[in-house]
Amino acid sequence: MPGRLIEQLMPGRLIEQLTIGSDPAPWAEAGFAAAGGDIAVGETRLAFADGEGVLGWRLDGVDDEIDGLPVAPAVDGVAPAGPHPNGVTRIDHLVVFTPDLERTTGALEAIDVERRRVREVQADGSPLRQGFFRLGEVILEVVEHANVEAGPARFWGITFAVRNLDACAELLGDRLGSIRDAVQPGRRIATVRSCADLGLPVALISA
């Protein structure tokens, strides 16, 4: 059975919505089908509001904050699902920063979201720990590092999977950084530059 289909059949909670602090216009210019407002990327609705960064999320069956990660107001109606001109098919992973990986892990396990593994590396002279969780088709990457401020967990950035990263690079031009090998074997990744004005750190990874 193909790995993608296995992911779709896996039980677990889904990220139904992410609310992004941005105008949808720069997203449309970056090749997302966002000209009319909210959009769907895979299983997840992206709603746009005033602000910056990921303002909140909605998980199916969860009504409360999770270690300080805010719940977004639900948006009515159906969001267009694309296709997206940049070839984006889904959210590959959502990154959260925390000062305490075990605390955030406990909050996720309390809603039956299991940590799959932990990766430990050195970054800026201090240990960096990454915990990985599965939320439907999305990998939630929770990062602990000495540079993360004390307090609640907070959203940081999103990596989207694309069908053809080279074609996407041609579309975005100088709004996309150099393509390089990803940590995941056989995949490549590039960072969307801040000049794209998407309101949060965004990367694109080959599917």
pLDDT single digits (tens) 100-146: 999 999 999 999 999 999 999 888 888 899 999 999 999 999 999 98
pLDDT for 2 beyond 50: no
Query: How far apart, in whole angstroms, are the C-alpha atoms of residue 87 and residue 97?
Result: 28
Rounded to an integer, what distance in angstroms lies between the CA atom of residue 51 and that of residue 54? 9
Asked whether the predicted pLDDT for residue 5 surpasses 50, the reply is: no
Average pLDDT over residues 147-167: 96
Mean pLDDT calculated for residue range 88-97: 97
Alpha-carbon gap, residue 101 to 24, rounded angstroms: 32
State yes or no: pLDDT of 3 exceeds 70.
no
CA-CA distance, 75 to 53, in Å (whole number)?
18
Q: Mean pLDDT over residues 51-69, rounded?
A: 96
61 exposure class (CB count in 10 Å sphere: 0-12, 13-18, 19+): exposed
Give the number of C-alpha atoms closer than 13 A to the C-alpha of residue 137, restricted to the C-beta side.
17
Bigger pLDDT: 79 vs 170:
170
Span between the terminal Cα atoms of the chain, in Å: 17
Is the pLDDT at 8 greater than 50, yes or no?
A: no
Reply yes or no on whether the pLDDT at 1 is more than 90: no
Mean pLDDT of 175-183: 95
Only one residue has tokens 């949060």, namely 200
Residue 25, H or E segment: helix 24-29
Confidence category of residue 11, pLDDT binned at 50, 70, 90: low
Query: Minimal CA–CA distance to 207: which of 178, 181, 186?
Result: 186
Query: Which pLDDT value is given to residue 163?
Result: 96
Percent of the chain with pLDDT over 90: 82
- What's the pTM value of the predicted model, to 2 decimals? 0.91
